[in-house]
Amino acid sequence: MDSFLVMLALVGAVIVFSALLSGWVDRTGVPQVLVFLGIGALIGPLGLNLLDASIDSPILRAVATLSLVLVLFTDAVSLDLKEVRRHRLLASLMLGPGTVGAAVLIAAAGWYVLDLSLPLAAILGAAIASTDPVLLRGVLRRPGLHNSVRQALRLESSLNDIVLLPVVLVSIEILTSAAPLTGADWGRVMLNMLLLSPVAGVVVGLAGVRALEMVRRRAGVRRDYESIYSLGLAFAAYAAAESAQGSGFVAAFAAGLTVSALDTELCDCFLEYGETTAEMALLFTFVLFGTSIVWSGLGAITGATVLFTLLTLLIRPIAYLPALIPAQLSMKNRALIAWFGPRGLSTLLLVMLAVFAGVEGSHFLLQVCCLGVLVSVVLHGFSPMFLIREPKADPAAPALVVQQAATDQPRAHTISLPEYQQLGASSGVVLVDSRSERTYADTEAVPSSIRVHPDRAVADATRLALPHGATLVVFCA
């Protein structure tokens, strides 16, 4: 079959299966990532042999690059800077002794157990310390997760990649340099990393936000198109930095952070529409890795690699349990945070940077990372159903129903504030606050309202025992 048709069919399959399996995945707790790795195996050389996205595949290189840009941009856009300031102690503990500490310990294990050079060990430590955004998103959506755990993991998932990425980039610079780096070379590397690349991202983000604000005032912009606009800013920032010999990945994160700081509405639009598009791209990347590359980890099984993989599972708790003591979290919550560090796409994308740069020994690093990802997808993917208990519904509570019109169709329409106040004078009216997480956190609570999270409305409504036959007035601005 023509490779273009295979690729087009693959894109369609990812979109269709993601939609059809979304409810089943949420209900059963089966890792979505595992399903798409299985699709990759089915169409790859181990199955129907329709597609083989090998390391040298230009398609894989392009998709992996775009996926890492999306991961970093999404991390930054979804970051609530007010939340970071409110919980700066927790954020600093998660990133400092937590993320960095785990990366250092994993690198030390790689140096000792796998006999790697220090730069190679640093790349391996940074890659494996990175948490997977897709697997972790499933954990964060579980209603039974304690809020403090959700908060800590959300902060980590939004910030850890930008902490670990420079480690990978600097190590690659050391390994690919023909001679030892001089002081001038180090100055150039630091200038590109800390100044040129972030400035390129900030400039693109700032210009993009200002242009959008101007068009909004004059003509208006549809919310779904604003999410597409966000993705355009991510890719534009990457291209701007790369054309200036900087790091496009750092620039993509800086652009997302600029958008997050200056335009909350654009962030909300991205989280409503663009985040789903980005997730489709990431799942598509999982399928490509699943055709052959990720299974190469099974071929790397030796006593040393198995020991190293087991050590990486233990190192995160060793780093995080003592690191989180100052946050005054319960032992149970600290243990959950320490356990849920799933390795997946971010790990593979970071180590692939070394492969694309032609670093000697990077293929072995990729195999070790693939083995770690396969183990993590199974252990971290299935463990939430055992470790996170779902809130029990009140058996005496009536089922949640929507008030029906005579035509048996749901009756829903927009009302004004005076109309709501008039309704409020009558009985059986419930005001439901279903705003986005960011908007809800940044503004005052709506008086006399019941908070129902938009991502788990039915579960929250059942748990709160909203009355049968009530008129629901939903505030979702």
Is the predicted pLDDT of residue 349 greater than 80, yes or no? yes
In percent, the amount of the chain with pLDDT more than 90 equals 38
**What are the pLDDT digits (tens) for 115-129?**
999 999 999 999 999
Q: What is the mean pLDDT of residues 384-398?
A: 62
Residue 396's pLDDT is: 44
The better pLDDT of the pair 171, 245 is held by: 171
Q: Is the pLDDT of residue 154 over 60?
A: yes
Q: What is the pTM of this model?
A: 0.81
The residue with greater pLDDT, 272 or 30, is 30
Of 130 and 443, which is predicted with more confidence?
A: 130
The pair of structure tokens assigned to 338 is 């320490």
- Mean pLDDT is lowest, of 197-201, 271-275, 296-300, for 271-275
Collapsing DSSP to helix, strand or coil, 313 comes out as helix
Query: In sequence order, which residues have a C-beta less than 8 Å from that of residue 129 and are 6 or more positions away?
Result: 99, 102, 103, 106, 160, 164, 316, 341
Domain architecture of the chain: domains with CATH: 3-184+263-387 (1.20.1530.20), 393-477 (no CATH)
Mean pLDDT of 429-449: 69
- pLDDT higher at 174 or 461: 174
Q: How far, CA to CA in Å, does 117 sit from each of 224, 240, 289, 339, 357?
A: 48, 33, 26, 28, 17
Range from 237-246, 387-396, 400-409 carrying the lowest mean pLDDT: 400-409
The 10s digit of each residue's pLDDT in 85-96 is 888 999 999 999
Residue 399 has pLDDT above 60, yes or no: no
Q: Name the H helices within 383-415.
A: 384-387
What letter represents residue 386's amino acid?
Answer: F
Confidence of residue 442 (pLDDT cuts 50, 70, 90): low
Output the pLDDT for position 429: 78
Side chain identity at 365, as an amino acid letter? Answer: L
Whether 111 has a pLDDT exceeding 90, the answer reads yes
Sheet with 450-451, side-by-side order of all strands = 450-451, 429-433, 471-475
Confidence of residue 284 (pLDDT cuts 50, 70, 90): confident
User: CB neighbours of 54 closer than 8 A, spacing ≥ 6?
Assistant: 60, 292, 293
Q: What's the rounded Cα separation, in Å, for the pair 32 and 25?
A: 6
Residue 206: C-alpha distances to residues 68, 214, 254, 257, 368 (Å): 21, 12, 10, 10, 40
Lowest mean pLDDT among 255-259, 273-277, 305-309: 273-277
50-59, 194-203, 411-420, range with the lowest pLDDT: 411-420
**What's the CA gap between 113 and 279, in Å, rounded?**
35
Average pLDDT along the chain: 83
Calpha distance 275→310 (Å, rounded): 33
Average pLDDT estimate for 315-319: 95
Helix (H, G, I), strand (E, B) or coil at 475: strand
pLDDT of 364 strictly over 80: yes
Average pLDDT over residues 218-238: 84
Q: How many CA atoms lie within 13 A of 319 on its CB side?
A: 24
CA distance 215 to 221: 7
- Distance, CA of 320 to CA of 295 (rounded, Å): 30
- Altogether, the residues listed in the chain come to a count of 477
The per-residue pLDDT for 357 is: 93
So what's the pLDDT on residue 414?
Answer: 65
Q: Is the pLDDT of residue 167 over 90?
A: yes
pLDDT at 422 over 70: no
Cα–Cα distance for residue pair 128/290, rounded to 1 Å: 18
Q: 192 to each of 76, 131, 188, how far by Cα in Å?
A: 20, 25, 6
Specify burial of residue 404 (Cβ count, 10 A radius: 0-12, 13-18, 19+).
exposed
Give the pLDDT band (50/70/90) at residue 456: low
Residues 330-342 have a mean pLDDT of 92
Percent of the chain, pLDDT > 70?
84
